[in-house]
Structure 1
Amino acid sequence: MGATTSLASRQLSVTPGGSVDATVQVRNNGTLVDQFSVDVVGDAKDWTEVEPRIMNLMPGQEGAVQIKFAPPRNSTVPAGFVPFGVRVLSREEPHGSVVEEGSVQVEPFTDLQVELSPKSSRCRSKARHEVVVDNSGNYPMPVELVANDPDEQLKMSLDYSTLTVQPGTSAFLKLTVKPHDRFLKGAERRHPFQVTALAADVPPTTVQGTVVQQQLLPKWLLPALIALVALAIAGVALWFTVVKPTVQSAARETAKTEVAAQQAAMQQQVDSAEQKAAAAEQKAAAAEQKAATGGGGPPAPPPVTGPGGVDISTGTTFDTRISAEVTANPNPNAFTKIDNAVPAVPAGKTLVITDLLLQNPHGDTGTIRILRGNDVLYEFGLANFRDYDYHSIAPLTFPPDQKLAIAVNCQTPGAPEPATGKCKVSATFSGKTSG
């Protein structure tokens, strides 16, 4: 059968910081000695005390439990009705446990504070302060703020004059203070002012502040001007007494040195011209003497030969261009060889390359190699050029059995080629075929 309970009062009222008691009667309706545990459930359990929490009752015996409600005086417990339940649990017959329900009215209380930061400020034309309104009470509080100065020397402006501050929160307002009159020079002027917070059923809360008005001209300005004038006078005197004569003397010395150098250079040019004229006269005289004696013409120049003794001064002009479109491959060792665009070298002839033009118009990245058969002659990084004109000091020779070719490794195609995923490069070769 478990227990039966009765709550003497189901509606209570308490002021935060105070307490109120309620009594719960518990009766053992079972046939055995039973132990009952009592606790409070609901939002009120954190500020409720139960005495005793455990009681032992004989069959048919009745006991009283005191419930004390003591909400703290802060914003954590809002004003209003708070429902609760007194739960009585039977150890012998758990299914026979019961809950008595009720509510406690938490009365509202007010705790309003106003702060000013900073309390004192200095300015020439405008000062700024911050007004902080703290609501440490337990219900939302409508507040009206009024800023004024007793001497009526200031123009004061708040962000907003009316607001509602929620319990346990703070509101921050900007206060701008401007003196009505400004002055260029003179002693500091102190202007007291105050900010008052007005709320219903609460005495006004006032905070005091001060604005110290300073002259518009900075105090350091006059000494700085005096020092600047003195420095200017000293600079003028130094110029006319020391710097200017030194500069004029240095200029004269420099001019003399330059004139002497120019005269020496002109004399060297004259001497060189005289030497060249004398040499020309000697050559002309030798030529006349040789003509008079019937001498032959100048000897033929020797032939120009490349590696292996190949005569490259004569032969058929050779030009070809190899273009490559290579799909991007992240492997730096993956090269695509192109040699089908180069005409075959005739039997008994040698291909001689003297000029090379590489073109990378889209700014691709990767590597291009110049090959002679399978041998790598040159290797260039594509990222290092858009157009590269290369002239070989020692001409490149290709016999008929070693073909000219290029090999390309494409890493990253340049714009607009990323859409196709291919690098587009070319190599143009110029030279001769000689026998």
Structure 2
Amino acid sequence: MTLRAELIVPDEPVPPGESATAHLHVWNEGRIVDAYDLELLGPPAQWREGEASLGQLPVYPGNHEKINIPLLVPRTAELAPGELPFAIRVVSAENPDVVAVPEASLVIGAFQDAEIETVRSRTAGALWSSNLIVLRNTGNAPVTLRLRVSPESPEAPLRVRARRSRLQLAPGEKARVAVGVRVHPPGLVGAAAPWKVAAGAEWGGGEQERGASFVHRQRALLPKPLFKALVALAAVVVAAAVLWFSPVGKKTPAAKTESAKGPSQAEAVEQAEKKADAQEKEQKELEEKQAEAVGALRKQPLQTSLFVDSKSRKTSARYKVPKGYRLVLKTVQITASGPETGTLLLNAAGQPLASMGTHNAKDFTPKAPVSVKAGSAITLDLDCTAAPPPPAPSNGGAGAPSAGPGDGAAATCTATALVSGDLVPLEGPFAEPDPLQ
């Protein structure tokens, strides 16, 4: 029993975050039907979340089969550009000592990306404040970042300046830059005013950028309790002066602080306090929404294998969509072997997607979007039925004919379905509308 296998990958570089397809060819140079267990070796096995097994590939004697293996390259700074070797272990199911390990190298491309965030989401001060901006190179190649900071509103009485405006970071390197905020001109009295400060990092000639922001709360030079005390003291002084200079024996006029063209000082203070309280409430609601978004579910790719084998009586395999997600099905790569009477049925959430024979199985790509809700499943069902035996030969024959692949014995069918798609959150800031609803 002999075995030969060959692994072919694209020659062009594959940028991280994109996918490539490897082609595995397996030749059965023996004399019996055999099925081969496929196991992915090297870093690509870790990209599949520990699912290194690619299922089984049945091959008839003297023939060869091909399987397409999608490889989704992760977008991470830890994956350096250049050649990345990997291999696939091919083991005979009939004789585990028959093994082939074809190798290949996937060329990883370079990409630039960065993250920016502020250490504090809020600062406060009557004259000045400071903050730290954290920059991180999340690409796999060096990047030169240009940092810019400025208030979002042109009416903001702020002057913002970063200690450094240009930084060069190696892959995975992190840097902190101090940012100073100076209030000009400062406010003497009144409620605190929040001003939003935007920070941005750009690279590649401004073609790519990331942004962050924080809020500087401008306080008055005279705190609110002290201002209230001064207003109350002024009211007492005015009332005492009116009583002092009023005629004796006549009705004492009421002390008023209201001017001829506007509300009194007490009403102005009350209005300023209400406005400040409303601004504080609005800022608190905004911060709560941002905090909820930090732990939200994100969109992620899915690659999983469904394997059925009539010999081991495993005639049905399924994948259940996890809670909080819906599955957007892209393609299902199917390889199978068996008699002409054997059939395969691919279902999604109890609805049939494709039906085919085991002897002529082919890949399935939906023409219209297929969305599978959380709790529902993608199932692969196998119906392997042996063909009836041929009529017995006449007595005049020279001898008994040789038995065919299915004559007088139970039929054997195997199939592997490689399901590819995206898991999309049902709720949260990263949710996407379902086109089927």
TM-score, with length taken from structure 2: 0.42
Task: Give the helix-richer structure, 1 or 2.
Answer: 1
Higher relative contact order, structure no. (Cα contacts within 8 Å, ≥ 6 residues apart): 2
TM-score, with length taken from structure 1: 0.42
